Amino acid sequence: FDFCQAEGKKRPSENLGQVLFGERIEPSPYRFTFNKKETCKSVCTKTYDTTKPEDKQKLDFLKKSMLLNYQHHWIVDNMPVTWCYDVEDGQRFCNPGFPIGCYITEDGRPKDACVINSEFHEKDTFYIFNHVDIKIYYHVVENEALGARLVAAKLEPKSYKHTHADNPDCSGVPMDISNKASGEVKIAYTYSVTFHEEKNIRWASRWDYILESMPHTHIQWFSIMNSLVIVLFLSGMVAMIMLRTLHKDIARYNQMDSTEDAQEEFGWKLVHGDIFRPPRKGMLLSVFLGSGTQILIMTFVTLFFACLGFLSPANRGALMTCAVVLWVLLGTPAGYVAARFYKSFGGEKWKTNVLLTSFLCPGIVFADFFIMNLILWGEGSSAAIPFGTLVAILALWFCISVPLTFIGAYFGFKKNAIEHPVRTNQIPRQIPEQSFYTKPLPGIIMGGILPFGCIFIQLFFILNSIWSHQMYYMFGFLFLVFIILVITCSEATILLCYFHLCAEDYHWQWRSFLTSGFTAVYFLIYAIHYFFSKLQITGTASTILYFGYTMIMVLIFFLFTG
């Protein structure tokens, strides 16, 4: 954007998580000194001559951004500068960004931020917020020699048509840019700063006023209750089956003294000779189990740290950094689990197994990420990841994650295979005709619904925080939902597995993985719905990016739930 630039200042450095999320921090031309009041200080003046094509292009870009309600995000002392305004019911909403400008439509309707001022009334006109009133609140530290600490920064965007750009007075009519305007357009950028002492806000709780104005905490409790009801219902079902049915079955088997009774076996007892037959594509299943274990532990530890408050929004990019580092360090459990299962499936090709565990799922994620980055790079976006960072990620993967996976696999193959309690028959049993409910596909599709029901309200907030730049800070809720999701996935799978074993279908390994893994498909459907209903994304590149990143999330979620 063609705003005022800071001359010759160094750019702050970002951490890994910020780089991956595409957050870039730029130095600012707005300078101020503590407790020194500034009124209507000029920053710079931009002049656009619409007869010149490059000037017209810059101005059109500004207009387009105002039409799409683009926002400035400013930071002072690591605090977002917020724009607080009254919404209905007498509540104040604090937005951590403020719009570039706004637009009045051809029939005189104000869009987005234009409702704040009745002077914005010209039809088919853009109003640019070229003046900001910044209020900085500080808290004087009594017992230390340090002086004062900043506890809040708020601003009011204003629009003024400065008649004398070199000596601005910040009064008069708003700065309007008519859509059909031609000739010369002059925009002078100015600011005012005032400092206020605020005794009531402590430095440690200075983020609270932003988080309080984030709505929806009551929806959270509702969603948690909803999920807990699902969990209780499922646990009841599982407990009932375990206690009543299995207890009955086992009691009945124990009563059989004579051999002729034992001929009339039924239900799950019939498939005991086939239940531990290795699954088809056992290699792939063991690799998925390894990667899934890695993701499961990573998510658990990340959320645990987030609950303790290490990864608050104040540490920008901390969440992503933490997740990536943990994922790299958790190569050992992945290799170990994959090797254990592969060995108990009777597999021989252990080298292939280790290589696939190290490279299959991370490789798919990295390839997807790399293609997205190429698109960003081609579009000239600032979110494109520099080549050095890509090399660093590859180095983390190849030099730390892969060797750790090998170590895990070594221990996994050294241990004896998992002992099965019953022998497997030589000849596979014939599976009888299945009813609709115990066929593989309907069972798998039904299995994903319950876990998805537990998470979909949280999902809305998480997608909002990723795509709509809202802050996400409800890690306590998320941790609770995570535990609920783990329980629900396990119990739904146990139930469906029991039903199809009773119907004498002994192919349970893949089905148990896919039953809860199918939740990821519902996640994908929800993400598509969110894209069309909530986001106004236009252009092919943006659409490809949205779905590219969504596919990464879906794959990770699939491995995790499975």
Q: What is the pLDDT of residues 434-477, one digit of tens each?
A: 888 888 899 899 889 888 988 887 898 889 888 877 777 778 88
Average pLDDT of the chain to the nearest whole number = 88
pLDDT band at 181 (very low <50, low <70, confident <90, very high): confident
Instruction: Say if CB 124 and CB 180 are below 8 A apart.
Output: yes
Instruction: Say if CB 39 and CB 67 are below 8 A apart.
Output: no
Residue 17 has pLDDT above 90, yes or no: no
Higher pLDDT, 530 or 202: 530
pLDDT band at 369 (very low <50, low <70, confident <90, very high): very high
- How many whole angstroms separate alpha carbon 474 and alpha carbon 311? 11
Instruction: Say if CB 481 and CB 231 are below 8 A apart.
Output: no
pLDDT at position 321 is 92
Least confident of 86-95, 180-189, 260-269, 524-533: 260-269
β-pairing verdict for 176-178 and 125-128: antiparallel
pLDDT at position 544 is 93
The DSSP call for residue 339 is H
What residue has token string 């969504």? 550
Which run of H or E residues covers position 195? strand 184-197
Residue 407 has pLDDT above 60, yes or no: yes
The DSSP call for residue 27 is -
Mean pLDDT of 256-269: 63
Mean pLDDT of 239-268: 70
Helices (H), 256-281: 259-262
pLDDT band at 268 (very low <50, low <70, confident <90, very high): confident
pLDDT at position 458 is 83
Residue 71 has pLDDT above 80, yes or no: yes
Mean pLDDT of 350-371: 95
- How many whole angstroms separate alpha carbon 521 and alpha carbon 445? 9
Helices (H), 396-439: 402-414
pLDDT band at 242 (very low <50, low <70, confident <90, very high): confident
pTM for the model stands at 0.87
Q: Which amino acid is at 195?
A: F
pLDDT > 70: percent of the chain: 96
User: Which among 33-42, 361-370, 426-435 has the top mean pLDDT?
Assistant: 361-370
